[in-house]
């Protein structure tokens, strides 16, 4: 069984984001990490691999620096490492097409990914890839299991959680998983060092990347917070709650 896991490298969620010339300055990012929800997808993929004896394929689209993340995935057990080089930010539609082509090229039996990336916070990739390959998709899952030829998963429901079974090929987009994330160990690291990374270009995948119909105008720091406001007396609570909604937009 080929278990494809879609991984994205993002600025570490604790890293400071600095803006220059109207764009997020990637060069100033001090630490790049695997997007946190993708880590849960990788862990689930490893558990599926161990349960079924399958082959775990870690796939990423990104510049040269993303190869380190693939090696890190190998250190916890990924078998095949696939790098699709792209330079510059591409919109989600492009990425989805590249990933969909890669997933099909490797004849995937199941595809796992994080529910959304920590940089774009979009969440379009999983369902988008599913659409392009004609597969089902279940999002916000916390685990995936395989038995009797079918995949089952757990996702939230209006009254708690529900166990869902899927017919056929599916993408599973992970929220925080129920399992602890496994650590690499020295043996894994030494083997990962030797693992080759397959580089497949968009041409190899037969994907033509047309220019996007989206124009990024700018990236900017969040709007300045207004100065702290202090109110005397509980009679102001209602007013403050409305400010939390209308000014701060946090509830």
Partner 1 sequence: MRIMAYEALDFYDVDSLLTEEERMVRDMVRDWVDEEVIPKIEIACREGVFPDEWRVALGEMGVLGAPLKGYDCPGLSYTAYGVICRELERGDSGLRSFASVQGSLAMYPIWDFGSEEQKNKYLPKMASGEWIGCFGLTEPDYGSNPGDMITKAEDMGDHYLLNGAKMWITNGTIAELAIVWAKLDGVIRGFIVEKNDPGFSAPEMKGKHSLKASVTSELVFQDCKIPKDRILPGVKGLRGPFSCLNNARYGISWGALGSAQACFDSAKDYAMSRIQFDHPIASYQLVQNKLSWMLREITKGQLLAYHLGQKKDSGDWIPEHISLAKMNNVDIALEIARVARDIHGANGILDEYPIMRHMANLESVKTYEGTHDIHNLILGRYITGIQAFTRGA
Partner 2 sequence: MDFTVIAEANGDSLHPTTYQLIGAAASMGSNPTVICPNGTGAEEAAKINGVEKVISVNGDCFNIFDGGAWASSLSSLCGDIILISASPNGREIGSRIAAKKDIPVIQDVTSMTEGITVSRPIYSGKAMESLTITGSAVITLRPNSFEAALAENNAPINVVDQSADVKISIQEAINKASERLDVTEADIIISGGRGMGTIENFSHLEEIADTIGAAVGASRAVVDEWGMPHRMQVGQTGKTVTPSLYIAVGISGAIQHLAGMRSSKYILAINKDSDAPIFGVADYGIVASWEDAIPSLKSALSELQS
Angle between helices 92-105 and 125-133 (to 10 degrees): 50
Q: CB under 5 to 8 A by kind: which of partner 2, partner 1, none does 193 bind?
A: partner 1
Point out which span in 52-60, 166-174, 189-197, 201-209 binds partner 2 (CB under 8 A): 166-174
Q: CB under 5 to 8 A by kind: which of partner 1, partner 2, none does 181 bind?
A: partner 1
59 binds partner 2 (CB under 8 A): no
Phi, psi of 36 (to 5 degrees): -50, -45
Q: CB under 5 to 8 A by kind: which of partner 1, partner 2, none does 189 bind?
A: partner 1
CB nearer to partner 1: pick between 39 and 143? 39
CB atoms within 10 A of CB 97: 22
Burial of 27 (0-12, 13-18, 19+ CB in 10 A): exposed
Q: Are 83 and 202 in contact (CB under 8 A)?
A: no
Query: Nearest CA to 77 among 53, 103, 102?
Result: 53
CB nearer to partner 2: pick between 63 and 156? 156
Using CB under 8 A as the criterion, which residues of the chain lie in contact with partner 1 when the complex forms?
Answer: 12-14, 30-31, 33, 36, 39, 68, 71-72, 75, 176, 181, 183-187, 189-190, 192-193
Q: Are 123 and 37 in contact (CB under 8 A)?
A: no
**Contact pick of 102, 170, 174, 177 for partner 2 (by CB under 8 A):** 170
């Amino acid at each position: 069984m080929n278990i494809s896991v879609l991984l994205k490298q993002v600025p570490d969620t604790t890293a400071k984001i600095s803006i220059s010339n109207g764009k997020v300055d990637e060069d100033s990012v001090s630490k790049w990490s695997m997007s946190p929800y993708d880590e849960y997808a990788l862990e689930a993929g490893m558990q599926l691999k161990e349960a079924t004896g399958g082959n775990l394929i870690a796939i990423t689209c990104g510049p040269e620096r993303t190869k380190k993340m693939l090696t890190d995935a190998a250190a916890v057990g990924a078998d095949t490492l696939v790098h699709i080089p792209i330079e510059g930010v591409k919109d989600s539609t492009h990425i989805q097409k590249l990933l969909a082509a890669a997933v099909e090229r490797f004849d995937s039996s199941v595809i796992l990914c994080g529910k959304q990336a920590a940089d774009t916070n979009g969440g379009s990739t999983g369902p988008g890839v599913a659409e392009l390959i004609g597969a089902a998709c279940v999002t916000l899952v916390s685990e995936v299991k395989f038995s009797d030829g079918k995949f089952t998963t757990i996702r939230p429901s209006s009254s708690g959680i529900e166990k869902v079974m899927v017919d056929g090929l599916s993408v599973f987009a992970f929220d925080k998983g129920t399992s602890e994330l496994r650590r690499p160990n020295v043996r894994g690291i030494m083997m990962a060092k030797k693992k080759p990374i397959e580089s497949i270009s968009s041409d190899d995948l037969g994907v033509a990347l047309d220019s996007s119909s989206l124009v990024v105008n700018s990236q900017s720091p969040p709007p300045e917070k207004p100065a702290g406001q202090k109110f005397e007396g509980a009679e102001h609570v209602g007013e403050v709650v409305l400010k939390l909604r209308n000014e701060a937009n946090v509830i």
